[in-house]
Structure 1
Amino acid sequence: MHVPDGFINAPLSAVTGVAAAGAIAVSLRGARRELDERTAPLAGLVAAFIFAVQMLNFPVAAGTSGHLLGGALAAILVGPFTGVLCVSVVLLMQGILFADGGLTALGVNITDMAIVTTVVGYAVFRGLVKVLPRRRRSITFASFVAALLSVPAAACAFTLIYAIGGTTDIAIGKVATAMIGVHVLIGIGEAVITALTVGAVVAVRPDLVYGARGLEQKLKLRVDGALVDVPAVPASSAPVAARTSRRALWITGLVTSLVLAGFVSFYASANPDGLEKVAHDKGIDSRTEKHTSSDSPLAGYGVKDVSDARLSGGLAGVIGVGVTVVAGSAVFWAVRRRRTADVSPTSTSAV
């Protein structure tokens, strides 16, 4: 659902750019509360994984494909504020390096794909978790429904943005019907990917999943006939095995992302995604502008001057995963460091 330059007029693109910048600023502050020594390393990996899976377009209807948006997935794994930052990092890398999603439309894309999907997805997820039994299966089920609803929500958001600032004179009812219809189908694929991913992580390390915190019941001991909570073990004294499994999970996730982007992506559907299909059928793309990064060595998810399509796409995918995990990890390391500085003894003594 990457919106190219030219779909939305300049004034509204500027407004969404300011809104996106404000949301990112708020998310940077909110992420300080979400990121700790367990989730900070995972956040950069989540961004890289979303980048990789977004390269895997899957068929949803005749001549149409879809791909992961990732907002619900990121919010559930690392928290809603951090989730907004994860998807924003992906969109920034895609726009600058791969000419995917317009640069003047970056505010539109962040608003639609990062903010709307994360907010809607996480709100639905939290609502379901509160009423479902406290079990791991409930986390997986809530993830499925949250992701399923987040995609048509993004389609509705695009339709609203287009109704206000679209550059072509198309009946908005036709746009809404086409966008929401195809993205309900894409939402099913999003839901399956999200549920499988969250379920896999919850199965091995539920403590690393932000949305699963508090899932396990507290251990209790009977003391003098009364049940009392067992004190929590400080993170600094966590078993070596737990730290090792965290590292193993990170390495497994990175290798999986590299394989998906570097090899599996070659077999992805070549059909246009939902927005591209609707834009072509309804004439929305008649005002599309040339991408500023169209001459990038990685434009179109291929390496310039590499003639073999499989090798070119695979190298581009591997480079994309590498750049995204480095950029994302740098952002989240800085946020985590700022949080540490905010709660340092020096800062507390000065209050």
Structure 2
Amino acid sequence: MQNIAMHISNGIINGPVAAIYAAFALVVLTFCVIRGRRDLDDRLAPMAGLVAAFIFAVQMLNFPIFTGAVSGHLLGGALAAMLVGPWVGALCVSVVLIVQALVFGDGGVAMLGLNITNMAIIGTAAGYLLIALLLRVLPRTPAGLAATGFVSAVVSVVVASQGFILQYWLGGTTDLGGSLGGLAGTMAGAHLLIGIGEGLITATTVVTVAKVRPDLVYALRGLRTVPALSNPVTGGAR
């Protein structure tokens, strides 16, 4: 069984491209650290630890796809973005990826820049951009929050998977069979299925947290200018 794109193993992408992405990931994560410090408070700091632990757990679960020929796993970028924001969220996912590579050998250490770019940076950014849009047009009710979490998770997973296509085009060293377009389609289709599962988990988790402690949901706190509608998750509190 082949775990496609998530995580990338050593040798699939050549050294120069891997080095470029490592430098890119380092620059982006440095900015995330600087920007994330502004958000950290007594609520966000412990929440970040819980989010990282949860993402670590769900990423250990692999799902067979296409009659078991390939497998994939949840990413967690959209979930992290909703609960702790894009900056701290990207750092949470990155920490998980680093631990998995160094301790469990899940994804090549030389490919960390590629994996962090796809799952921590692209996945989290795509998820949060969609979250910011949807929470401005959907009612801030449990249903609206669930729809936001589900859609953003599905899209973020598919978009993150396509980051691998660009990387493979730039420096792929292993024959994965078929054309680049065919590989992109296979990646999108496989991760669409994964995204549906991740969307359900994201929607359920975020709504559960919001019903108990809406102040712990970063996405809700960041949209204070949006008026609450009927039966809001936040109960109208600001």
| TM-score after normalising by structure 1 | 0.60
1:153 to 153, 159, 170: 159
State the alpha-carbon separation in 2 of the partners of residues 216 and 77 from structure 1. Answer: 20
Check the 8 A contact 1:30/1:81 in 2, yes or no. yes
- Corresponding residue for residue 117 of structure 1: 123
Q: Which ranges in structure 2 are unaligned for 5 or more consecutive residues?
A: 1-5, 229-236
State the alpha-carbon separation in 2 of the partners of residues 195 and 134 from structure 1. Answer: 13
Q: Deviations over 1:239-290 (max 9, x none)?
A: xxxxxxxxxxxxxxxxxxxxxxxxxxxxxxxxxxxxxxxxxxxxxxxxxxxx
Matched, 1:131 2:131: no
- Corresponding residue for residue 44 of structure 2: 39
- Corresponding residue for residue 212 of structure 1: 220
State the alpha-carbon separation in 2 of the partners of residues 104 and 115 from structure 1. Answer: 17
Matched, 1:29 2:34: yes
Check the 8 A contact 2:83/2:218 in 1, yes or no. yes
Q: Deviations over 1:114-161 (max 9, x none)?
A: 001000001011101111123232122101100010111011111111
1:7 to 12, 18, 38: 12
Relative to structure 1, the CA distance from residue 85 to residue 158 in structure 2 (aligned partners, 3 Å threshold; closer, same or farther) is same
1:178 to 177, 186, 195: 186
Relative to structure 1, the CA distance from residue 203 to residue 216 in structure 2 (aligned partners, 3 Å threshold; closer, same or farther) is farther
Matching residue's letter, 1:56: L
- Corresponding residue for residue 107 of structure 1: 113
Q: Which ranges in structure 1 are unaligned for 5 or more consecutive residues?
A: 218-230, 233-351
Give the alignment of 1:1-351 within 5 angstroms. 1-63=6-68, 64-169=70-175, 170=177, 171-213=179-221, 214=224, 217=228
- Corresponding residue for residue 232 of structure 2: none
Matching residue's letter, 1:191: G
State the alpha-carbon separation in 1 of the partners of residues 174 and 63 from structure 2. Answer: 29
What count of residue pairs does the alignment treat as equivalent? 221
State the alpha-carbon separation in 2 of the partners of residues 4 and 60 from structure 1. Answer: 19
Higher-Rg member (1/2) = 1
Identity of aligned residues (%): 53
Q: Secondary structure at the match of 1:100?
A: coil
| TM-score after normalising by structure 2 | 0.87
Q: Which has the higher contact order (CA 8 A, sep 6+)?
A: 1
Q: Secondary structure at the match of 1:2?
A: coil
- Corresponding residue for residue 274 of structure 1: none
Offset of residue 61 of structure 1:
3.8
- Show structure 1 runs of 4+ deviating over 3 A: 58-61, 214-217
- Larger mean Cα displacement after TM superposition, 113-122 or 63-72: 63-72
State the alpha-carbon separation in 1 of the partners of residues 60 and 227 from structure 2. Answer: 35
Q: Secondary structure at the match of 1:192?
A: helix
Relative to structure 1, the CA distance from residue 206 to residue 198 in structure 2 (aligned partners, 3 Å threshold; closer, same or farther) is same
Relative to structure 1, the CA distance from residue 20 to residue 61 in structure 2 (aligned partners, 3 Å threshold; closer, same or farther) is same
Matching residue's letter, 2:60: M
